[in-house]
Amino acid sequence: MDKFKTQLYSSQLKADLDLFNQLQILIDALSTTENMPESLTILQKILAFDSHQSKMVRIDNDYWFPSTHWVTIAFAKISDQASLSPTKVVLPNAQKVAELHFSEWPNAAFRFVQAPLAAGGYYLVETAQNLRVLYWDIAHKRFYLDTNQFAKLVQTQAVQLAGLDALDIFQKRLTAIASQFIEIAYDIDLPGIDAQKQVDLEMVRKDLSTNILDSLFVLGAKQQFILKRMTGEKSGAIITIGEVSLKLTTHHINDGHEQWTYDIIDDNRNVTIYTLFQQLPFFYQWYSDHLTVVGLKDKREVFVD
Amino acid sequence: MTIQDIQTILQPELVNRLERKISYLSDLQSAIKNNQISQVYQLLDPHKFNDNLQKILSETSVAQLDSLVADIKKDIAAFLAPELINYVVTNFDFLTLEPVADDTTLYDVYIGDWWDHRQLGTLNVLTVVLTSDDSITSELIETAKLSDEETLNATKIQEVKKVITGLESFLADNTKRSLELQVIEDQLAEISANKSGLFGRSDKVTREALEKKQELLIATQKRMPEVEEKLNKQQAYLLRFEKEDALRQLELQAISAYYVDVPTFITELQHIYVSYMTKLDQK
């Protein structure tokens, strides 16, 4: 039988409490800081916190949150600073993961989930349809849009009901966050989200078959949107939607293949490809029918189902 | 008769013919020089010009004239084309024209400027004749007779869609079949494990029934690639039929915006020579 050493017990208890005290200091700092790089540094420390270093003290109750919770809190802060439209963190009853509510989309909720990748990182997911918006890898500074699922998300009732202005606000929000991330050397890939950058949006596959363009022609014609052959220096096809032109342009590349891109020409620079997906159901139908070919090229390797 | 006598007899006629040729080429040169396009057409084919525009008939053979300009026909066409093309696209603004490669006398004529627009015919710049594809015009006449909801390929489309639904549901059932197969395999494994024959004859019957079902399911699964290929073919048919309908619909809309019906449009095309010459004369 070992002799109970009160002093040892006291020392260990102090070490454990100090450890949790450090966590408390980090959480407090996260709540007060207004500086984005600082909040990211704090978040990384919180994520690195290992409660198992505590030998005696355990917190295992409704107030112990997983790492995704703190990712949500940090992202909400960054998101709130990036837009005039507020971002709220809501903790649904009996849940341990906070939800994000972007004011522009009042009927949609989002949460972060851990990405099943060796590199780690988190997915921002819309909760009702379980549609992924983006991948955020805090440790390796990566911020990528899941173009496939975001295109699907803009078709959902909650997002459709909110209308084009709301979509515009959300896209600007992500663009603004990305701009801040760029300043701290993030790798950013948000294809098609920025209304100022709507040319040369590359498609996944090269060399589109005539059938795929025929199919866009047929679907468009049913809605009186006429696909035309592009004239002039570039070749490809074009659909005019009021004052906006959607171009599918072909570019000859060195390997003998043709790279196709989307170019959205809007003098007002308000329209993105996602605006068109939302506004033109035939276009989205075509896009989703041929997603593996005409889908926007993104960092598909990090989007694992 | 001496050589000189023969020459004296033939000389006036020969000189006369040469003079006519020189005069013809001189007239053509003058017409081109002065941009008298109508005059150029008249000189190229006086019979056609006079017949159509009720002018005095010339006795000159078209073949004779033709031979005089045979080697510069393409250049004359290049000279005449811009004015004619401008006339056509102004008066039939839903038509698009593209020069035929290596032949300046011909232009391919398409209806509309949309994706894969169909070629309506070919325009000869020298004769101002638009040779149109009868199959396209008769399809358009037929389409015009249909109600708004109907199309020429509607029945075919309906049939192909039915086939596609069937094939898709066969493919969709594959997951169900795979699961069923797995269950059968498990059951057969269980029966094999009961070698002691506790259940005797009933085991044998069950095994046979399961094996038959397994065979059937495997055979059905083997048909997957064949069904996928069939589905691709049917989808290609569907696209073709829908595209044909879409093209006809757009063509008809374009024509109907300017003409009361398709025959009136066709008549206009057939009279393009007269209308063009009249227009030139009004200049």
pLDDT, tens digit, for every residue of A51-93?
888 888 888 777 778 889 999 999 999 999 999 899 999 988 8
The dihedral region occupied by B252, where left means phi > 0, alpha psi between -120 and 50, and beta the remainder, is alpha
Q: What is the mean pLDDT of residues A210-230?
A: 95
Chain B residues with CB under 8 Å of A237 CB are 115
> What confidence category does residue B4 fall into, taking pLDDT thresholds of 50, 70 and 90?
confident
* Residue-level pLDDT at A49: 86
pLDDT at B59 over 60: no
Best mutation target among A217, A225, A228, A246 (most B Cβ atoms within 10 Å) is: A217
Asked if A228's CB is within 8 angstroms of B246's CB, the reply is: no
pLDDT at A300 over 70: yes
What is the per-residue pLDDT across A164-183, written as a single tens digit (0 to 9) for each?
A: 999 999 999 999 999 999 99
> What confidence category does residue B52 fall into, taking pLDDT thresholds of 50, 70 and 90?
low
A203 - beta bridge partners?
A: A296
- Helical residues (DSSP H) of chain B, grouped into ranges: 3-33, 37-44, 46-53, 62-69, 73-91, 134-145, 154-172, 174-193, 201-222, 224-256, 262-270, 272-281
What is the per-residue pLDDT across B235-266, written as a single tens digit (0 to 9) for each?
A: 999 999 999 999 999 999 999 999 999 999 99
What percent of chain B clears pLDDT 90, i.e. is strictly above it?
A: 59
What domains, with CATH codes, occur in chain A?
13-189 (no CATH), 201-295 (3.30.310)
* Residue-level pLDDT at B54: 55
Comparing CB atoms, the residue among B114, B239, B246 nearest residue A228 is B114
Please provide the average confidence, as pLDDT, over all residues in chain A: 93
Q: Which residue has the tokens 């600007």?
A: A172
* Residue-level pLDDT at B58: 52
> What confidence category does residue B44 fall into, taking pLDDT thresholds of 50, 70 and 90?
confident
> What confidence category does residue A1 fall into, taking pLDDT thresholds of 50, 70 and 90?
low
**Segment among A199-203, A277-281, B7-11, B208-212 with least mean pLDDT:** B7-11
Comparing alpha-carbon positions, the chain A residue that sits nearest to B239 is A215
* Residue-level pLDDT at B274: 92
Asked if A213's CB is within 8 angstroms of B246's CB, the reply is: no
Domain ranges of chain B: 3-73, 154-255
Chain B residues with CB under 8 Å of A218 CB are 239, 242-243, 246
> What confidence category does residue B57 fall into, taking pLDDT thresholds of 50, 70 and 90?
very low
> What confidence category does residue A122 fall into, taking pLDDT thresholds of 50, 70 and 90?
very high
Best mutation target among B115, B151, B237 (most A Cβ atoms within 10 Å) is: B115
Write the CA distances from A149 to A94, A121, A155, A274, A296, integer angstroms: 28, 18, 10, 11, 11
* Residue-level pLDDT at A97: 78
CB-count burial class (<10 Å; 0-12, 13-18, 19+) for A130:
exposed
Tokens for A142, please give them: 């990566």
What percent of chain A clears pLDDT 70, i.e. is strictly above it?
A: 100
* Residue-level pLDDT at A89: 93
Closest CA to B41 of B278, B269, B270: B278
Q: What is the mean pLDDT of residues A209-230?
A: 95
The rounded radius of gyration (Å) of the Cα atoms in chain A is 24
Q: Is residue A180 within 8 Å of residue A82, measured between CB atoms?
A: yes
B124 - beta bridge partners?
A: B106, B129
pLDDT at B122 over 60: yes
pLDDT at B65 over 80: no
> What confidence category does residue B196 fall into, taking pLDDT thresholds of 50, 70 and 90?
low
> What confidence category does residue A277 fall into, taking pLDDT thresholds of 50, 70 and 90?
very high
pLDDT at B148 over 70: yes
Comparing CB atoms, the residue among A214, A228, A237 nearest residue B243 is A214
Q: What is the mean pLDDT of residues A142-167?
A: 95
Asked if B239's CB is within 8 angstroms of A214's CB, the reply is: yes
Asked if B116's CB is within 8 angstroms of A217's CB, the reply is: yes
Q: Is residue A90 within 8 Å of residue A73, measured between CB atoms?
A: no
A61 vs A261 pLDDT, higher one = A261
**Segment among A8-12, A58-62, A141-145, A226-230 with least mean pLDDT:** A58-62
* B35 CA: distance to closest CA in chain A (Å): 30
What is the per-residue pLDDT across A125-142, written as a single tens digit (0 to 9) for each?
A: 999 999 999 999 999 999
Parallel, antiparallel or unpaired: strands A258-265 and B95-100: unpaired
**Segment among B55-59, B82-86, B270-274 with least mean pLDDT:** B55-59
As for the ipTM of the complex, it is 0.81
Question: In this structure, what is the dihedral angle of CA atoms B37, B39, B43, B49, given to the nearest 10 degrees?
Answer: 100
Asked if A237's CB is within 8 angstroms of B243's CB, the reply is: no
Tokens for A150, please give them: 């975001």
DSSP string, B170-221: HHHTHHHHHHHHHHHHHHHHHHHH-TT-TTTHHHHHHHHHHHHHHHHHHHHH
Q: Which residue has the tokens 């989703």?
A: A288
pLDDT at A303 over 70: yes
* Residue-level pLDDT at B199: 55
